[in-house]
C-alpha cells in the first residue's frame, strides 16, 4: 500500500512540476542578448591597466555560478576561444535571482580550467570560503554538434559530495523544462586542473555543466531563443527551490 501511495505522490509531484506557470519572458531573453554582446565585444581584449580580467557579482543565494571561459583565454601560449553565452547566462541569473556569480570579462592570461595558479582561482577560493555555498555550477559550452543538450561533469560521480539531492534535482528540473537529452561525464572534469576538481578538493559540492551551444545562441524570434529561455527557466527554478 505504501508503495502505491509513494508512486501516486511521485506522479502528482511530476505533474505539478510540468504544469508550473512560465516565469521567463521575452524581456529576459532580450537582456541575455544584450549582455552577450558586451562579452563578445571584449572577449579577446586585454583588461585595461589596473582592472582585473574577471568580475564577481555578490548575491544572497547559496548557489554560486562560475563562468571561467566567458571570454577567450590563454592555454599553453595559445589563445582559446570563449564559451559563448556562459557570461550572459551568469549575469542573467544574478539579475533575476540575486545569486552570486564569478565570470571573466576580458582575455584571461591564464586558463582557470587548466591551471591553478591564477588570480581567478585565488578569488574563487576566497569566495567559497566566505560564502560557503551549498552548490557550485561551473558553466561551459559544448559544440553544437554534440548529441546532448546537457552534460554533467561530476568527477565520475563524486563532485557533488553529500549533495546528490541537489544534483538529482537539477537533472529533473532541466528535464521538466525540455532539456531531456542528458549525458554524464562525457567531460568528467577529471582532466587538467578543472574548477570542479579545484572545488571538490576544498569540500565544496559542485558540478561542471556543459551546455550545448544551441541553447546559448539566441536571436530575437528564433528557435534558439526558446531553448535559452528553457535553460534560464530551469536554472531559475533550481535556485529558487534550493534554499538549504
31 C-beta neighbours (distance < 10 Å), count: 17
When pLDDT is cut at 50, 70 and 90, the band that residue 87 belongs to is: very high
Q: What are phi and psi of 142, to 5 degrees?
A: -100, 155
The C-alpha atoms of residue 227 and residue 181 are separated, in whole angstroms, by 13
**Average per-residue pLDDT in the chain?**
91
What mean pLDDT do residues 147-154 have? 97
Condensed to tens digits (0 to 9), the pLDDT of residues 113-133 reads: 999 989 999 999 999 999 999
Count Cβ atoms below 10 Å from residue 11 Cβ, excluding itself: 10
Q: Which fold has domain 27-241?
A: Aminopeptidase (3.40.630)
Which one, of 10, 20, 56, 36, lies nearest residue 240 by Cα? Answer: 20
Query: Rounded CA gap, 89 and 41, in Å?
Result: 16
Average pLDDT rounded to a whole number, residues 216-220: 90
What is the value of pTM for the model shown? 0.91
Order of all β-strands in the sheet with 63-67: 54-57, 101-104, 63-67, 135-142, 206-212, 150-153, 182-184
Strand (E) positions, 166-238?
Answer: 182-184, 206-212
Interval 93-116: pLDDT, tens:
999 999 999 999 999 999 999 999
The answer to whether the beta carbons of residues 168 and 233 sit under 8 Å apart is no
Amino acid at each position: 500500500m505504501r508503495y502505491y501511495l509513494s508512486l501516486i505522490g511521485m506522479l502528482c509531484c511530476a505533474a505539478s512540476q510540468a504544469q508550473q506557470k512560465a516565469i521567463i519572458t521575452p524581456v529576459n531573453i532580450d537582456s541575455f542578448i544584450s549582455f552577450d554582446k558586451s562579452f563578445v565585444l571584449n572577449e579577446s581584449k586585454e583588461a585595461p591597466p589596473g582592472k582585473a580580467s574577471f568580475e564577481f557579482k555578490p548575491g544572497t543565494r547559496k548557489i554560486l555560478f562560475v563562468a571561467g571561459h566567458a571570454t577567450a583565454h590563454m592555454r599553453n601560449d595559445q589563445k582559446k576561444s570563449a564559451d559563448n553565452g556562459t557570461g550572459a547566462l551568469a549575469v542573467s541569473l544574478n539579475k533575476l535571482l540575486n545569486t552570486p556569480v564569478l565570470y571573466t570579462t576580458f582575455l584571461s592570461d591564464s586558463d582557470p580550467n587548466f591551471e591553478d595558479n591564477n588570480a581567478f582561482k585565488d578569488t574563487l577560493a576566497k569566495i567559497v570560503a566566505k560564502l560557503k555555498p551549498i552548490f557550485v555550477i561551473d558553466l561551459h559550452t559544448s559544440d553544437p554538434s554534440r548529441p546532448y543538450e546537457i552534460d554533467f561533469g561530476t568527477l565520475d560521480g563524486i563532485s557533488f559530495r553529500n549533495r546528490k539531492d541537489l544534483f538529482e534535482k537539477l537533472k529533473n528540473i532541466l528535464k521538466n523544462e525540455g532539456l531531456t537529452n542528458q549525458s554524464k561525464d562525457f567531460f568528467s572534469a577529471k582532466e587538467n586542473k578543472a574548477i570542479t576538481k579545484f572545488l571538490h578538493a576544498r569540500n565544496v559540492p559542485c558540478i561542471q555543466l556543459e551546455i550545448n551551444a544551441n541553447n546559448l545562441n539566441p536571436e530575437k524570434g528564433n528557435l534558439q531563443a526558446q531553448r535559452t529561455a528553457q535553460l534560464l527557466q530551469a536554472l531559475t527554478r533550481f535556485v529558487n527551490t534550493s534554499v538549504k
